[in-house]
């Protein structure tokens, strides 16, 4: 493996598609596909955090599961550190799991209630044979707990004895146990209270700096994404509609869906809110089993013209590093 420069992509996703078959009736006849992810491209550079945002059903979690290879994609390439992992299996896949880890949304259901915190964090090390010596393994558990801001004594406790924020720290410690390079964070702070969210966001940021981690950060809370991610991709109905560095995307959104999404988030300041024009986007997200023709956003889009219902817009770079999939947006730079 070549020593790559810090800015080189660690992960490159090309033409990723994940279709789930839908069957009906006694014979399980296939009646269609849910096109959860329908042809997306993105890269994550070494050491950066890429935010993947969108509403329920947009395909952000499925994308994360494909990258983790918890799903075998229908089509496309997932190039991790130079190797296409989209169709790996067996031993190679297991080796990959040490390098790519995950932090889940729900700190209640993602920790086994019958295991102590110590056993939960030590299990991946045991499974992968990283630390065969039990005493050393426990030392490492204590170290990981401390790194994640928990008292080493928590190793003997059970998940139900801990608060949501503490459990999420355990989830993070478990992900770190493998010394991974890449972590898929799937809504890691959504289930937490506001005052605890900020603690966990800061912890994730500290860990990224300390261990040179790279994150794919999947979330629907746009405010958290703005502060944690260097770059952000917005998904809608299986497609990436816009991608740019974080401040550009939030200050100068171009795709009509991104604009609608940002406009829908109220800001915690009554003065700002009073002065804001507020017209929520109409309608609801269509079914991914039967997506609209052409641009998938066109039935709800305030900018839609005739051709939007006929041709699917191709992603274009409208300014350096700013990609938009909308044929009505002008090129700015």
262 binds other proteins (CB under 8 A): yes
Residue in 250, 292, 299, 304 binding other proteins, rule: CB under 8 A: 250
Query: Residues with Cβ < 8 Å from 94, sequence gap 6 or more?
Result: 128
- Near other proteins in 71-130, by CB under 8 A: none
3 state SS of 51: strand
State which of residues 166, 168, 214, 254 lies at the interface with other proteins (CB under 8 A). Answer: 166
Among 169, 226, 239, 322, binds other proteins (CB under 8 A): 226
Distance of CA 322 to the CA centre of its chain: 19
Site string for other proteins, 270-289 (x = CB under 8 A): xxxx----x-xxx-xx----
Say how far apart CA 36 and CA 53 lie, in whole Å: 14
Q: How far apart are CA 292 and CA 206, in angstroms?
A: 42
* Contact region with other proteins (CB under 8 A), list: 126-134, 172-180, 262-270, 289-297: 262-270
User: In this complex, which beta carbon is closest to other proteins, that of residue 83 or of residue 264?
Assistant: 264
- Interacting residue with other proteins among 61, 101, 197, 254 (CB under 8 A): 197
Of 127 and 267, the one with the shorter C-beta distance to other proteins is 267
Contact region with other proteins (CB under 8 A), list: 121-129, 135-143, 224-232, 303-311: 224-232
Max CA separation in the chain (angstroms) = 68
CA gap 66, 63 in Å, rounded: 5
195 makes contact with other proteins (CB under 8 A): yes
3-state secondary structure of 220: coil
Q: How far is the CB of 34 from other proteins (least distance, A)?
A: 16
Residue 242 near residue 233 (C-beta atoms within 8 A): yes
- CA 73 – CA 285 distance, rounded (Å): 23
H or E element, residue 154: none
Measured CA to CA, the distance from residue 99 to residue 78 in angstroms comes to 14
Complex with other proteins: residue 92 or 223, whichever CB lies closer: 223
139, 161, 193, 317: which one binds other proteins (CB under 8 A): 193
- Counting contacts by CB under 8 A, is residue 314 touching other proteins? no
The candidate with the shortest Cα–Cα distance to 260, out of 294, 295, 301, is: 301
- Minimum distance of other proteins from residue 194's CB (angstroms): 6
Instruction: Quote the CA–CA distance of 287 and 108 in Å, as a whole number.
Output: 30
Residue number with CB closer to other proteins (129 or 268)? 268
**In 3D, which of 228, 215, 218, 120 has the Cα closest to residue 177?**
120
Residues in touch with other proteins (CB under 8 A) = 55-56, 163-166, 193-199, 201-202, 205, 220, 222-224, 226-227, 246-247, 250-251, 260-273, 278, 280-282, 284-285
């Amino acid at each position: 493996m070549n020593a790559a420069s810090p800015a080189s992509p660690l992960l490159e996703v090309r033409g990723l598609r994940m279709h789930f078959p839908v069957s009906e009736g006694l014979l399980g006849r296939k009646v269609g596909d849910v096109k959860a992810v329908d042809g997306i491209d993105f890269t994550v550079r070494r050491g950066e955090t890429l935010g993947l945002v969108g509403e329920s059903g947009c395909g952000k979690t499925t994308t994360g599961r494909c990258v983790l290879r918890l799903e075998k994609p229908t089509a496309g390439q997932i190039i991790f550190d130079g190797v296409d992992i989209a169709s790996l299996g067996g031993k190679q896949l297991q080796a990959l799991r040490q390098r790519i880890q995950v932090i889940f949304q729900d700190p209640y259901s993602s920790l086994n209630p019958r295991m102590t915190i110590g056993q939960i964090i030590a299990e991946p090390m045991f499974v992968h044979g990283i630390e065969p010596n039990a005493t050393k393994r426990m030392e490492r558990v204590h170290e990981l707990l401390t790194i994640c801001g928990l008292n080493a004594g928590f190793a003997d406790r059970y998940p139900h004895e801990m608060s949501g924020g503490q459990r999420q720290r355990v989830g993070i410690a478990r992900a770190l146990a493998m010394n991974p390079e890449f972590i898929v964070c799937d809504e890691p702070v959504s289930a937490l209270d506001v005052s605890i969210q900020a603690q966990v966001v800061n912890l994730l940021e500290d860990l990224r700096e300390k261990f040179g981690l790279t994150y794919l950060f999947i979330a629907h809370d746009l405010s958290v994404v703005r502060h944690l991610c260097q770059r952000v991709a917005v998904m809608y109905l299986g497609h990436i509609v816009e991608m740019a560095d974080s401040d550009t995307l939030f200050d100068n959104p171009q795709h009509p869906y991104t604009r609608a999404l940002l406009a829908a988030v109220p800001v915690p300041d009554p003065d700002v809110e009073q002065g804001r024009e507020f017209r929520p986007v109409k309608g609801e997200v269509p079914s991914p089993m039967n997506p609209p023709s052409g641009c998938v956003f066109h039935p709800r889009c305030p900018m839609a013209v005739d051709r939007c219902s006929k041709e699917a817009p191709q992603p274009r770079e409208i300014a350096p590093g700013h990609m938009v999939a909308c044929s009505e947006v002008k090129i700015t730079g």
